[in-house]
Structures are given as C-alpha cells and as structure tokens.
Amino acid sequence: MPAVTRKVSASLAGVAIVVLIAGYLNATQAVTTPTTRAAQQMLSAAHSVYAPDLADVAVLSTEQFSHIELTDQDGQVFQFDQHAADATVLNFMFTGCAIECPRQTAQLREIYKSVSESGSGVVKMLSISITPETDSVRTLKSFAGRYDIDSPDWRFLRAGRDHTDELMSRFAISSGTDISNPLDHRNVIYLLNASGQVVQQYAADPIDTGRVSKEVLQLANPLS
C-alpha cells in the first residue's frame, strides 16, 4: 500500500475513533442527566414502591398550598392548613376514570382499613380530583359511596381549575405537556408527615398495599 494511502487511512481511522468517543461521552451524559434519570427511575418502579429524591420532595409541603381552597364530598370547605394528622396518604384521581382510579381507590381503601383497625395515630386520606369541571360535590360523594367510604378522615376533594393545575404541577402529576388531559397523568401516591411534608412517594400501578400500610403506621406511630 502506498505511503499516502496509509496516511489517509490512518487519519480516517483517527477521526472515526474521535467520533465514536464523542458519541459515547454524549450518550453517557444523556443517561445521567437528572431528567432522564428520574424518568428511568419512574419506569423501573412501575410495579414497586420507590423512595423519592429527598432533595426534591423535602421542600414540598402542604403549607405552600394554604391559599388553595378545596371542597370535599360533603360540600364542606377544606384547606390544607386546617388539616392535622400524624400521617396522610394523598392521591390524585377523577371519577370518570374507567380502570386505574377505581383500582387505586380500592387499594387505598384496603390500606385505610388496615391502618384504621390498628388504632395507631391519626391517619387521613386525601383524594384530589383532576377534573373539577365534571367532578361535582355530588359526583365525588357518589364515587366514595361506591367503595363504602364514609369517614371524616377520608376526603374526596375538588378545587377550581387554576388551583387544580397548580397542585398537579407542584406534585408533578402530569406525565406530558397537556396538564389538562386527565388520561395523561402519573399513577403516584404520596405520604405526608404530621408537618404536612411529603416524605415518601409510591408507584401506584399497582400499589404495594402491605408495604404502604406498614410505612404509614411507622410514620403515624414511630414508637410502636
């Protein structure tokens, strides 16, 4: 092979190696970006309980939503700053949901029954509608009745559209760009402590009811 040809081949090989290395580094950086990593964690936890990134959820507290006024299934005004419990389980739902919300509500009912029968601390449940336009007080009451839920410690709640969007945005419920699309939301439930801080979040498709019940009880009665 002529010397000139060898030099050109070597140069091309060198360029190829540089391109491959650059591509590898870019791919590695893409995998490790916070956004992608969070998405991967969410996907890998689709059927299990997972711990949140505490650096993110530590600043999320119900006191940040004291300006938001909601209405429960009995037509009573509800505000987060008036809410007191040793542990609170919070989820987002809508009554027009055909599969996920009914299944999630049934699983939450199992958790609520388990922790209520234990008699450990004050545990409350908050289910917030993401479609306030169609989920009236009467509709929420009817939905709760389908699951024999009639307790002051489990509130089905609705707010105005603007406040609903604010809650969905802060709790990162929407899985896409259209926050108003009820079918485009993550199946996640949240555990709050007595100060109203989010201390845990769980994949809810399905819910690991045994583990969630255990962690709720541990939070409500840490000395047990």
pLDDT tens digits for range 93-143: 999 998 889 999 999 999 999 998 887 778 999 999 999 999 999 999 999
Condensed to tens digits (0 to 9), the pLDDT of residues 1-41 reads: 555 444 434 444 443 433 333 443 333 332 323 333 433 34
- When divided into structural domains, the chain yields a total of 2
Residues 8 and 96 in one domain: no
Position 37 in a domain = no
Please state the φ and ψ torsions of residue 155, each to the nearest 5 degrees.
-110, 130
Most distant CA pair in the chain: distance in Å?
Answer: 90
Q: Which helix (H) or strand (E) holds 71?
A: strand 69-72
Quick check: pTM over 0.85? no
CA angle 44, 50, 51 (to 5 degrees): 130
| pLDDT confidence band for 182 (50 / 70 / 90) | low
165-169, 200-204, 219-223: least confidently modelled range: 219-223
Q: How many residues comprise the chain?
A: 224
Condensed to tens digits (0 to 9), the pLDDT of residues 39-82 reads: 334 333 333 334 443 334 446 888 899 999 999 999 999 998 87
When pLDDT is averaged across residues 154-182 and rounded to a whole number, the result is: 81
Residues 22 and 62 in one domain: no
Residues 78 and 166 in one domain: yes
20-24, 120-124, 212-216, 217-221: least confidently modelled range: 20-24
Q: What is the pLDDT of residue 17?
A: 38
Q: What is the pLDDT of residue 175?
A: 56
CATH of the domain at 92: 3.40.30.10
Q: What is the pLDDT of residue 222?
A: 76
Condensed to tens digits (0 to 9), the pLDDT of residues 131-153 reads: 999 999 999 999 999 999 999 99
Q: Report how far residue 220's alpha carbon sits from residue 224's, in angstroms, rounded to the nearest whole number.
A: 9
What's the domain range around 16? 3-32
Q: What is the pLDDT of residue 59?
A: 64
Instruction: Give 189-215 as a DSSP string.
Output: EEEE-TTSBEEEEEE-TT--HHHHHHH
Q: What is the pLDDT of residue 109?
A: 96
Tokens of 188: 């996640």
Position 189 in a domain = yes
78-87, 104-113, 161-170, 176-185: least confidently modelled range: 176-185
Q: Which helix (H) or strand (E) holds 156?
A: strand 154-158
Residues 92 and 8 in one domain: no
Residues 124 and 200 in one domain: yes
Residues 85 and 186 in one domain: yes
Please state the φ and ψ torsions of residue 163, each to the nearest 5 degrees.
-70, -35
Position 103 in a domain = yes
Residues 19 and 109 in one domain: no
Angle between helices 209-220 and 100-118 (to 10 degrees): 40
Residues 19 and 107 in one domain: no
